[in-house]
Chain A
Amino acid sequence: MTAPVATGAAGFLARYEGLKDHLPGARKPWLNQLRADAAVHFAARGFPTRRVEQWKYTDLAPVAQASFAEPLTMVEGAIALPVPNAENRAVFVDGRFRPDLSTLDGLAFRVGGLAQGLADAEPWLGALAKPGTEPLAALNTMLFEDGLFLDLPEGVDGGLLELVSIAVDPGRPFAFHPRHLFRLGAGAKLTLIETATGRGHCLHNPVFEIDVAENATLTHGRMLQEEATVFHLSTIYATVAAGGTYDNFTVAAGPRLTRNEIHAALTGPKAACHMNGAQMASDGQHVDTTTALDHAAPDCASRQTYKTVLAGRSRGVFQGKIHVHRVAQRTDGYQMNQALLLSDEAEIDSKPQLEIYADDVKCSHGATVGALDADSLFYLRTRGIPESQAKAMLVEAFLHEAVETVTDDTLRTALTRALDNWWARQEASA
């Protein structure tokens, strides 16, 4: 088989044309239609350029100009897995479910690969990530092969589950677009810890569709730690019904470019959403957190705290939109993003955006940007703490503050380790 020659959107469209009869679910008319609609949409819009408002600060040209192929062969055999954070884990290699590497026995709910579960996915797949929305979601819909399919029945406490994604370098540019479907029935509960690792010149373009029913709670911790050759573009769509909670905490530290895009809708009274995270970049890296929160029902609460640390010549972006609908009276919304710049060449772009159509609303936002505080550094050094260690303490303090909101001990420990690992790597390369 020869490598495809077309680049960017045209390349992906050409591969879709070639692969569409072989993709999982190719015999299901509803899925074929969904993929076809997505292809039409993606063909019309292509990769977003910086002329598109939501992509003003993040340039996808390096992705659009590359020629990524699908990982054609299944990676077989043993793979070095990251240190486990939970007993139960679902492992994906190059976006494909690997039951042989996963441990999911005896769970009281459905969990497994989407490719094998497509027969039951029709009502949910594309319900939140509609083909006509974001181009990257369309690209994902067009080409996804697999993903994690989670379905917690009413009232089930799923405990702790880990989602591991590993990209194995095939020695040439490759892309994978996992599609993850999570459904939590009324009153169900789950803590999901996600780790993404991998190497090679690669595009990881996952899309999540997350449906949290009445009084259900999903805690979703994410550690995006691929190597600095990887482009990680994830898009999460979450909808939370009355009394339900979706908690997202994301540590982005590693990839060359990370886009952490979250669309959450609070659709029933007293639903809640917490979106927190820490994103770090060093020389040549770009991190982008973009959130869009829809307060579509009364008495809902949302909290967002994002921390960005930038070293060397790097760039960070935070865009946070809160839309409070006319019906969403007594909304309690809070958004804060803080950036720490460790070099003169680092740049942060911060854009909070509040659209409020209800009149009885408590909504606040804030943004700070600064360097390490010279007085604090001096204070530590006068106590005998060497400069590099003093800096590390202050950076850690800045980042750990974001993690303090995480109540699950296992998750908090994992996230803290991810933060400290970044700093250790940063120190080692400095």
Chain B
Amino acid sequence: MLRIEGLTAEVEGKPILNGVDLEVPSGEVHAIMGPNGSGKSTLSYVLAGREGYVVTGGSATFNGVDILAIEPEERAAAGLFLAFQYPVELPGVGNATFLRTALNAQRRAKGESELDAMQFLKLARERMKALSMPEDMLKRGVNVGFSGGEKKRNEILQMAMLKPALAILDETDSGLDIDALKIVSDGVNAMRGPDFSALVITHYQRLLDYIVPDRVHVLISGRIVRSGGPELAQELEAQGYAAVQAAA
């Protein structure tokens, strides 16, 4: 369970999060919606531990672990995964090497045995097939020359390989056509189960037609101003954030 209490954070001295309270129980998928500049991406970066995102108050724990106190790689080993809105291109780092290094680093951190090249390839091929990814994407540099959709699918592939307990999907739907959106959503839905939870950050309701959330939260000016069931997303789509903000 992810528990965020009174979380405040600033970037370059500017307060962005102004007291976020949020609980995502194990096995549930929650959506965070909000207008541009409301702090959605900041929340995801603060949880993942990005430099320059300074926590000024409050707390965030995952399964009882104070995640704000540990390094990004330790958060990953604790089960946290961030799917980036803008995945980074890494020229010269092969996608296969990257995936295997990440997987084995996490296995090592958990005291599990590392996968050899053959075991890794078998697993990777299986997961890629499920995501309709061509196999040559393993040979290419990480995200180098990938289309927007391929980059997002690569994020989901990483998630499928690393099997996090909590995935934060930061605007994973942006830049996706409807087919890619469906593939990505299927990838996320396949992970769902009692030991998996997700925080789906999105601007539009569209994604939530495919990944149906248990709860929807509205983030405005760095605070959760409203929470509700999946129907809240439809209400937002129909009435816009301004109406919700006025009502809050």
Contacts and interface: CB of A to CB of B under 8 A. Distances in A.
Chain A partners chain B: yes
B87 A383 contact: no
B42 to A, nearest CB: 14
Interface string B182-195: 00000000000000
Contact of B90 (A379, A382, A384, A389): A379
The contact size tier of chain A is 20 to 34
A379 B48 CA distance: 10
Nearest to B72: A381
Contacts of B92: 396-398, 400-401
Interface string A230-271: 000000000000000000000000000000000000000000
A155 interface: no
5 contacts: A376-B88, A382-B82, A387-B71, A393-B101, A394-B93
A389 B71 contact: no
Interface of B: 48-51, 71-73, 75-77, 81-82, 84, 87-88, 90-93, 97-98, 101-102, 105-106, 109, 141, 158, 162
A399 to B, nearest CB: 8
A378 B93 contact: no
Given A394-B93, A397-B90, A382 B51 contact: no
Q: Which of B73, B91, B97, B162 has the most CB of A within 10 A?
A: B73
A127 interface: no
Given A384-B162, A385-B105, A401-B91, A378 B50 contact: yes
Interface in A377-418: 378-387, 389-390, 393-394, 396-398, 400-401
Given A378-B51, A393-B93, A393-B101, A384 B88 contact: no
A375 interface: yes
B50 A389 contact: no
B113 to A, nearest CB: 16
Interface in A343-396: 373-376, 378-387, 389-390, 393-394, 396
Contact of B73 (A381, A394, A397): A381
A385 B142 CA distance: 15
B88 A379 contact: yes
Contacts of B76: 381-384
A117 B177 CA distance: 72
Contacts of A379: 84, 87-88, 90
A383 B90 contact: no
Given A378-B51, A383-B102, A383-B158, A397 B87 contact: no
A373 B79 CA distance: 25
Contacts of A382: 48-49, 72-73, 75-76, 81-82
A382 B102 CA distance: 9
A384 B71 contact: no
Contacts of A389: 101, 105
Contacts of A374: 51
B71 A383 contact: no
B174 to A, nearest CB: 17
Contact of A385 (B48, B73, B91, B141): B73
A301 B135 CA distance: 36
A118 B91 CA distance: 49
Given A374-B51, A378-B51, A385 B101 contact: yes
Contacts of B162: 383-384
